[in-house]
Structure 1
Amino acid sequence: MSGFGQFLRRGFSPVLAAIVCGVVLVGTLGFMIHSRAAILRDGSEIILRTAPVDPRDLMRGDYVRLRYGDISSVDGALLAGSWPKEDILVPLWLTLVPGDDGTARVKAVSLEKPDGGNPDAVYLKSKPVMLYGEDHPRTGQVPLRLKFGIERYYVPEGEGLEIEKARNAGRTTVAIRVSRDGEPQIARLMIDGQTLYEEPLY
């Protein structure tokens, strides 16, 4: 039997297996960090106004829950094209444009990424949401409750309560950066227009 065959027969040693797992883990973590940094560095920026969250839903640990008044709840009537014939779980694409106050508003909603053409627009992809088929009694029900993976922001311990108070008073805005693939990252958290926290690239 060849040396390679004997190696395969013996299998990986525990030490070699640990090294391989470590390399894969480090590589995966490095890719995630680089992807996040790339969005923060190169993504298109838009400002979102936060909305109050049920005061009974208290802060857990060292993060603040965020809800966005303009994009977390969207009118199903804005969905472009025909409503799906069958129930489907799909992400939705939001076309966002700056409003008169500088914060984002939803101009359109679609199942596919828009072709673009509006230099002022940012195209944001939601997490998958259930759309009921055209014969379902809930078809077209409004509003559509959407999430984007930016509903939680970690802060230094003990500082979350004041931020939550400002959020519920309508004083908090968040700057997000969005990649070409529609993936968002929180870049800055602001109160009364002043930056409170800014995310580093790394």
Structure 2
Amino acid sequence: MNKIIALVALIAVLGIVNASIIGKENHLAEGQVVYLELAPVDPRSLMQGDYMALNFRVAQQVYEALPKSEEYRGWNRNAEAGDGYVVVTLDEKKIGTFQRLDNSTPLADNETRLRYRVRNGEVKFATNAFFFQEGHAQAYEAARYGQFRVAEDGELLLAAMFNETLERIQPANQE
């Protein structure tokens, strides 16, 4: 009897995991393309091992627009924690620029909502790191934009990194 329960539980878990994977794959294939500019970072900390720490200019602008607690003292990034939406304006290249925090007003044709999260005083969009194959760090030093796929509910998935002319960074295979 215990073996049957364990087998049913395993099948249920695998079903849930596979459904999640299929959902993310559909999100990547069908989501609206939006490019977010990377914020300047200390070049010494840009590459750390086999990943790149990410920060986006829009995230900094969202942070500045968020209400701060009374204890806020400048460097103590103490924005009120929580999740929310920001409205970005998309140019002809689909580069998103901060417009406003979402206030539920209808969007213009060139606007879209993006979901953000505030964790530990930092505004996050989907991820704060981009992982790549060992030995490819030099290729990603040219990264200036992250390409996101945005679902109808504003949820983002990071799809790829792009340079300043919006060319996808695809390192040559090094063997």
TM-score by length of 1: 0.65
1:138: which partner in 2?
none
- Does residue 185 of structure 1 match 2:161? no
RMSD, aligned CA:
3.0
Q: Percent identity?
A: 20
What does residue 50 of structure 2 align with? 62
Greater Rg by CA: 1
Q: Is the 8 A contact 2:162 2:169 kept in 1?
A: yes
Q: For 1:117-132, what aligned pairs fall within 5 Å after superposition?
A: 117-128=107-118
| Partner in structure 2 of residue 27 of structure 1 | 15
Map 1:80-99; keep pairs closer than 5 Å. 89-99=81-91
Taking the TM superposition and a 5 Å limit, the aligned residue runs for 1:155-170 are 155-163=132-140, 165-167=141-143
Question: Which shifted more, 175-184 or 92-101?
Answer: 92-101
Q: Deviations over 1:121-158 (max 9, x none)?
A: 1100111458xxxxxxxxxxxxx841022322221211
Q: How many residues align?
A: 161
Q: Which amino acid aligns with 1:196?
A: I
TM-score by length of 2: 0.74
The CA deviation at 1:101 is 6.9
Alpha carbons of structure 1 residues 22 and 97: separation in structure 2 relative to 1, 3 Å: same
Q: Which runs of 5+ in 1 are unaligned?
A: 1-11, 131-143, 198-202
Gaps of 5+ in 2: 71-78, 171-175
Q: In the alignment, residue 129 of structure 2 is paired with which amino acid?
A: R
